[in-house]
Every structure is written in structure tokens, then in C-alpha cells.
């Protein structure tokens, strides 16, 4: 059964009804600004176009841009828009920088770019945005960043793309919100290596990047083999999962995106007295000869070899996905409502250094890489990632973003043996770079789900009968981090497990049991040097995702006041191949997953994971029921050193 790419009449009627409901819910949004320094008003009956036209003396040039782009009429209809409106003064400055005197001198294509760069098809008030990027791209398919500063009177100032200040914010209109800005928004069309090389504070890093060939490796942008029909992109596929109907919209283009964590020249000098490329080479060798003793001295002059110490050093600083500051792990309202205080919000990603991962955690002090501990109680501080508001410089490229870091980042023996001697929990939406580079992961506060074609998801393969969609993030989902990868149809898919330090691990599936789920068979597979290693191993009997943990075969019992009784229950469940859900996750501020018989974990298998092989899980639906679903939430890889020695309940 192939998924139908065309919506029928019934589905269209349903979408129209849902659309009207959405309008009502969005246009009755916030009335008060949290910090109280600015008030916005609801202009009854006033659309974005009315707002601009009623202030024609301030916005006439921008109105002309919108009209020439033939988008002005669209902004007079119902919808959900964020409009960053540059004043005439801002437009005049932009035109003068181009050697022009009027909007009429701009080409039509330039008006299109200008208009689309200032519009987002989702309503965002400043109270909805965090330091970092706005979750939804503008209509020019580029992310806009929000940063903050304070003036001499300690008033908060908001900036878009670092340079454009919001001078009047959060003016609510019937079809969205208007923010007035003092400078026209522009975006760089440079690829990530180019924008890195233009930064005069990171010359040493860039020398090493070019020497090792990482600049070439991170210069891809669009996948020339990808295509998708317009109905799949614009109309999507209506589907049902859990208790909701949703629409999955396919990507118009498949993008290759990258994230770099970069030391400035001053950090190299301050931390290790490194001032030359020769000194950086020596430092990299001193670290990676210890981490990889079998390779010591074998590749020292072969700079583009992936086993060369300097190559490993630079490659470990790159992710093959888009990792904007506020999206490297959960933040904002989602973090507040779904993460309790006994562990920091954390995500782990594979780097471009083969078979390595880097961990991002967010204690109250900010974002850190490879930190060991919780909050201020740490044994390894880790490397702090600089917030966008601290840099005062645009760090977004056409195919990615870079972040400054305050210490030297390495995959050292300390990182491998101490920091990563831990339970890894991978949200399903992090298990492919395409889930993040497409913008599918996250999107809190929107109604946008992203569907994927076969062959467009790195590290995944799935059959023609499998529908794959990443759900937008909600605080009301019984899911880790509020989002899921939904698989429908007679699904049959395989995905790669992230690399972890060599050792014996329990591989666990965290899920929410529901009557609409399916029954799955899991198979463990290994791959080395591009070839599958046989035989493959079946992971126990099929798992019925419809059965909750109260079933006698699982043995869930609510926690008692007696700690020893709870430990006995945990041990009995573990012996049966199950575990309660973590007490560090909750839904919308409700009791934690540990206190629910519907949100728990199944130990799929226990395996020795090599440092040189790629490991995969193959999951297939064994019910003959194309409507049965799999809401893929998270995977855990827990080393024997942890589960054999008093693993915590978090």
C-alpha cells in the first residue's frame, strides 16, 4: 500500500474546519507583555495590510515592496502571520546602501526577497521567542535570530538578525502580529566555511579547517537528487495518530546543514598557550594519541585522513545538522513544563569525527558541551556555548550556524571514559540529521508536522508502505521533549544507533502505550566498512505497543512511600525486561512518567557495541493492520557500568 499523496474531499472539508478553529485560537492570544515595558493592542478588524496602510506615512515604502511582490493582498486575508515591518527611514537607508533612491528601482525578484524575508507564516510575539532563532523560517526559507540587550536605563531591547532593532513590538492584528523594525532584514548567502573564514577572531580554527579538508566537507547545501510534487509540499497528507488528526507536509527541498562549535584565537591562547597552527597540531596529537593509541603516529602528516589527530580535533567540532542555539536541546515553555529538576535537559549528537558523539546540556548557567553533573553540582564543567546575545555578530550561514565556545573541545579520554560513562537518552527526532536540518524537530507553538520521503532521511531506510512524519512539539504529549516520529502503514524501517564508547549496553525503547498502536518485531544489525555483518539478531518476542505496564507480564505497581518496596518493584520489572518511565519527564507539569503505567520502557536487547562498527535497529509491524501506528519517542543506550551499579530513576 503506497501512501496517497492527494487529499480527498472529506479531508479538505476537515482541514477547512480545523483552519477556522485555529484562527479563533490564535487571534485570541496574549494581552499582556511579561516585562511590562511595552503594551500592544488588539485592533478589531484590522489586518496586517490595514495596520500598515493606516500608518502609511511610516510604512509606504514597505507597502510598495509588498505590492510589487504580489503578496500584499494575501496579508489582507485571515491567516497567522508575523510581520517585521521596516520603517520608511529603514527602507531609505537600505536603498541608499544599494545606490538607489526609490523602491521602483528594485527588480521584481528583489522585492520578492525583501517581502518574504520580513514575513513568517506563524504568529510570534516576543514573549514566544527565546534567545536564538525563531522556530519557523521566514517566507524566504531562512531563519531569523532574536537577541536582546539593555540600554543605560536597563530597558530590554530586542534585535532581529543582530542589527535590526524592534522599536515597536507585539502589535496584535486580526491575522497575526506586527513588529516595527529600524533596519531592513538581510541574510548572508555564504556557506558555513566562508562565513567562518570572514571572522577575524577565529583564524587558527579556520587554518586547521582548511588544512584538514573540513571546509570542503561542510560546503554542501542542496540535495540535487531530491524532488517532491507540489501537492505533497503544499497540501501534505492528512493522518491520524493517538487522539489527533494532523497533516504532514513534505520538504520542498532537502538541505544539508552543519553546526560548528568554535574556539576563538584568544581561547586557544588563554587555555593552552596555542598561537600557531604547529602548536595546535601538537596539542591535537597529545589528546588523540591517548584516545586512539592504536593510531598514534600512523597518520600524523596525512591531514585529510579521518584518523589524523588534527582532523579528528576539527571534525569533533562539527555536527552534520542544523543546531541553532535555542534548539540544541529543549528550551522555554517546553523545558519548564516537561523537565523536572533532578537532571538537566540534555541531547547527544554524532559529530563529523567518526564514531564520536558530543553532549549538550542546559543547566541554569547556559548551554554546555560534555558536562558531567546536574545544575551547579558538576564534576566536569564542560565547555560553555556562547549565547547569540553575547556575540554581537551574525553567525548564521546559508547551510548552517556556528557558536563560540569558551574552552577547548576535545574527545579526550576524560570525555570518553568519565563524562560518557552514563545512560544516553536519544529523542527520536535527533536520530537523523534530516529531522533537524529540515526544521521538523521542535516547532513548538505551531501546527506544522513534516513528512519524509524514502531516501531523504540520513541513517534511516523504510519501505514504500511506511509513512514517516515528525510531529510539532507540544507540552500536552505523553512524550519525551514533547515530539515524536510517527510511523504509519504496514511500517518497516531501519535506523542507525548513535555511536557510543565501546562496551556492553542495554538498548531500551521508551514509549507511550495506546490502543491505536501496533505490534513490533525488532532486529539488531551491525555494519562495518559498508557491509552488513551477519547473522542478524532478533530482539526477543514481538512487543505489543497497545498493552500498558499494568499487565501482569510487565508488573508495574505505583510507587509506595517505602523506598525498598519501590526498588523491589523496579528489580522485578527489570527482570521481565521492562522499566518504569523516568521521573525526570512529565507532561504539561503533571506527575512524571514514572508515575504513569502508560509511559514506560522496554529493554529490547543487551549487546556489546564496538567502537568501529555501526549498529542498527530494524523495526517492523507484525500486525496486518495498516492503521496501527508507532509513535517513536526515544531510545536509551545504558552501559553495564551504570545499570549494574544502582542506576538512578531519572
Residues 106-132 pLDDT 10s: 999 999 999 999 999 999 998 888 888
Number of H helices and number of E strands within the chain?
18, 34
The mean per-residue pLDDT over the stretch 240-263 comes to 94
Local confidence band at 35 (pLDDT 50, 70, 90 cut-offs): very low
Question: How much is the pLDDT for 591?
Answer: 86
CB 425 within 8 A of CB 634: yes
Neighbour count for residue 469 (Cβ, 10 Å)? 24
The mean per-residue pLDDT over the stretch 507-517 comes to 96
Give the chain's mean pLDDT.
Answer: 91
Instruction: Report the C-alpha gap between 240 and 242 in whole angstroms.
Output: 7
Query: Which residues are 378's β-sheet partners?
Result: 373
CB 516 within 8 A of CB 628: yes
Local confidence band at 565 (pLDDT 50, 70, 90 cut-offs): very high
Instruction: Report the C-alpha gap between 498 and 506 in whole angstroms.
Output: 14
The answer on pLDDT for 8 being more than 80 is: no
CB 418 within 8 A of CB 380: yes
Question: How much is the pLDDT for 386?
Answer: 95
Instruction: Report the C-alpha gap between 532 and 577 in whole angstroms.
Output: 27
**Mind listing the pLDDT tens digit for each residue in 395-408?**
999 999 999 999 99
Question: How much is the pLDDT for 44?
Answer: 55
DSSP-derived letter for residue 418 is I
The proportion of the chain whose per-residue pLDDT surpasses 70, expressed as a percent, equals 93
The answer on pLDDT for 491 being more than 60 is: yes
* 4-8, 38-42, 134-138, 249-253: range with highest mean pLDDT: 249-253
The answer on pLDDT for 36 being more than 60 is: no
The mean per-residue pLDDT over the stretch 550-575 comes to 95
Instruction: Report the C-alpha gap between 313 and 315 in whole angstroms.
Output: 6
Least confident of 19-33, 90-104, 282-296: 19-33
The mean per-residue pLDDT over the stretch 220-242 comes to 93
Helix (H), strand (E) at residue 290: helix 277-291
- Judge residue 331's burial from the number of C-beta atoms within 10 Å of its C-beta, 0-12 exposed, 13-18 middle, 19 or more buried: buried
Structural domains in the chain, CATH included, are 31-181 (2.30.180.10), 258-419 (2.30.180), 424-643 (2.60.120.260)
Sign of CA dihedral 611, 612, 613, 615: positive
Helix (H, G, I), strand (E, B) or coil at 91: helix
Quote the pTM value: 0.89
Question: How much is the pLDDT for 249?
Answer: 95
Amino acid at each position: 500500500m503506497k501512501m496517497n499523496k492527494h487529499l480527498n474531499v472529506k479531508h479538505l472539508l476537515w482541514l477547512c474546519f480545523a483552519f477556522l478553529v485555529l484562527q479563533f485560537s490564535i487571534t485570541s492570544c496574549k494581552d499582556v507583555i511579561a516585562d511590562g515595558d511595552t503594551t500592544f493592542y488588539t485592533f478589531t478588524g484590522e489586518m496586517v495590510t490595514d495596520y500598515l496602510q493606516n500608518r502609511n506615512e511610516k510604512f509606504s515604502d514597505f507597502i510598495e515592496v509588498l505590492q510589487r511582490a504580489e503578496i500584499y493582498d494575501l496579508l489582507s486575508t485571515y491567516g497567522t502571520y508575523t510581520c517585521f515591518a521596516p520603517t520608511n527611514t529603514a527602507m531609505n537607508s537600505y536603498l541608499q546602501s544599494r545606490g538607489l533612491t526609490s523602491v521602483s528601482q528594485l527588480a521584481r525578484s528583489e522585492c520578492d526577497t525583501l517581502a518574504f524575508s520580513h514575513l513568517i507564516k506563524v504568529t510570534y510575539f516576543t514573549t514566544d521567542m527565546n534567545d536564538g532563532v525563531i522556530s519557523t523560517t521566514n517566507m524566504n526559507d531562512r531563519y531569523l535570530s532574536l537577541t536582546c540587550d539593555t540600554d543605560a536605563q536597563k530597558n530590554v531591547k530586542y534585535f532581529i538578525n543582530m542589527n535590526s532593532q524592534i522599536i515597536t513590538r507585539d502589535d496584535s492584528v486580526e491575522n497575526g502580529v506586527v513588529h516595527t523594525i529600524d533596519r531592513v532584514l538581510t541574510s548572508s548567502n555564504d556557506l558555513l566555511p566562508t562565513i567562518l573564514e570572514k571572522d577575524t577572531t577565529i583564524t587558527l580554527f579556520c587554518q586547521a579547517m582548511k588544512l584538514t579538508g573540513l571546509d570542503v566537507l561542510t560546503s554542501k547545501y542542496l540535495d540535487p537528487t531530491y524532488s517532491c510534487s507540489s501537492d505533497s509540499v503544499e497540501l501534505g497528507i492528512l493522518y491520524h495518530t493517538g487522539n489527533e488528526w494532523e497533516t504532514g507536509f513534505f520538504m520542498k527541498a532537502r538541505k544539508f546543514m552543519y553546526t560548528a562549535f568554535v574556539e576563538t584565537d584568544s581561547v586557544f591562547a588563554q587555555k593552552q598557550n596555542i598561537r600557531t597552527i604547529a602548536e595546535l597540531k601538537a596539542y591535537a596529537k597529545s589528546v588523540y594519541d591517548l584516545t586512539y593509541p592504536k593510531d598514534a603516529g600512523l597518520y600524523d602528516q596525512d591531514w585529510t585522513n579521518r584518523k589524523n589527530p588534527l582532523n579528528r580535533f576539527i571534525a569533533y567540532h562539527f555536527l552534520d545538522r542544523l543546531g541553532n542555539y535555542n534548539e540544541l536541546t529543549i528550551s522555554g515553555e517546553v523545558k519548564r513544563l516537561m523537565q523536572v529538576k533532578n537532571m538537566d535537559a540534555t541531547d547527544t549528537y554524532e559529530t563529523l569525527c567518526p564514531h564520536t558523539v558530543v553532549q549538550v546540556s542546559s543547566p541554569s548557567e547556559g548551554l554546555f558541551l560534555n558536562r558531567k553533573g546536574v545544575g551547579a553540582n558538576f564534576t566536569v564543567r564542560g565547555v560553555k556555548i556562547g549565547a547569540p546575545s553575547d556575540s554581537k555578530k551574525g553567525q548564521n550561514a546559508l547551510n548552517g550556524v556556528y557558536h563560540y565556545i569558551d574552552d577547548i573541545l576535545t574527545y579526550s579520554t576524560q570525555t570518553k571514559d568519565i563524562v560518557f560513562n552514563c545512560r544516553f537518552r536519544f529523542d527520536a527526532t535527533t536520530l537523523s540529521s534530516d529531522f533537524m536540518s529540515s526544521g521538523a524537530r521542535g516547532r513548538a507553538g505551531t501546527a506544522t508536522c513534516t513528512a519524509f520521503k524514502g531516501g531523504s532521511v540520513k541513517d534511516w531506510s523504510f519501505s514504500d508502505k511506511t509513512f514517516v512524519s515528525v510531529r510539532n512539539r507540544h507540552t500536552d504529549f505523553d512524550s519525551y521533549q514533547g515530539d515524536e516520529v510517527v510511523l504509519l502503514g504496514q511500517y518497516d524501517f531501519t535506523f542507525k544507533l548513535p555511536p557510543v564508547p565501546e562496551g556492553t549496553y542495554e538498548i531500551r525503547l521508551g514509549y507511550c502505550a495506546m490502543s491505536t498502536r501496533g505490534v513490533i518485531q525488532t532486529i539488531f544489525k551491525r555494519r562495518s566498512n559498508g557491509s552488513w555483518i551477519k547473522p542478524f539478531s532478533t530482539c526477543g518476542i514481538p512487543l505489543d505497543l497497545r498493552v500498558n505496564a499494568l499487565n501482569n507480564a510487565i508488573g508495574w505497581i505505583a510507587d509506595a512511600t517505602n523506598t525498598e518496596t519501590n526498588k523491589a518493584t523496579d528489580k522485578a520489572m527489570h527482570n521481565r525486561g521492562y522499566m518504569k518511565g523516568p521521573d525526570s519527564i512529565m507532561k504539561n507539569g503533571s506527575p512524571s512518567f514514572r508515575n504513569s503505567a502508560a509511559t514506560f520502557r522496554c529493554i529490547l536487547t543487551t549487546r556489546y557495541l564496538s567502537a568501529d562498527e555501526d549498529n542498527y535497529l530494524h523495526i517492523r509491524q507484525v500486525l496486518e493492520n495498516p492503521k496501527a501506528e508507532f509513535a517513536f519517542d526515544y531510545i536509551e543506550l545504558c552501559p553495564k557500568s551504570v545499570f549494574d551499579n544502582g542506576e538512578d530513576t531519572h
